[in-house]
Chains A and B, each alone.
Chain A
Amino acid sequence: MSAGRRTLAIVTALASVGVALTIAAVARQSDGTPARVLTVDPGDGAVLTAAPDAVTLRLSTGADSVLSHVTVRDSTGNAVNEGRVRGDGKTGLRQSVRLTGPGDYSIAYHITFTNGQDATGVLRFSVGTGAPPQGIADVPDPILDEADHAHGIDPLGATLLVLDGLALVVVLIMLLRPRRRSPAATDPPTAPAGSGHQR
Chain B
Amino acid sequence: MTVAKEHAARRGVIGAINEAHHRAVLGLYMIIVLAHWAEHLVQAYQIWVLGWARPQARGVLGMPFPWLVSSEWMHYAYAIVMLIGLFALRPGFVGRARTWWTIALAIQFWHHIEHLFLLIQVQAGFLLPGTTVPTSFAQFLIPRVELHLFYNSIVFLPMLVAMYLHLRPNERELQLQKCNCTQEGRQRLAANSGS
Contacts and interface: CB of A to CB of B under 8 A. Distances in A.
B53 A160 contact: no
Nearest to B191: A188
Contacts of A163: 153, 157
A151 B146 contact: yes
B31 A175 contact: no
A69 B53 CA distance: 12
Interface in A159-193: 160-161, 163-165, 167-168, 171, 174-175, 179, 182, 184-186, 188-190
B192 A190 contact: yes
A32 to B, nearest CB: 13
A14 B31 contact: yes
Q: How large is the interface on A (under 10, 10 to 19, 20 to 34, 35 or more residues)?
A: 35 or more
Interface in A67-116: 67-69, 84, 110, 112-116
B65 A116 contact: yes
Given A28-B65, A67-B69, A185-B184, A150 B156 contact: no
A137 interface: no
Going nearest first, the 10 A-B pairs with the smallest beta carbon separation are A160-B153, A157-B149, A66-B70, A116-B64, A28-B64, A25-B64, A147-B144, A158-B44, A64-B66, A154-B146
14 contacts: A10-B28, A25-B61, A66-B70, A69-B55, A112-B56, A115-B64, A143-B53, A146-B54, A151-B70, A151-B75, A151-B148, A167-B156, A186-B187, A190-B195
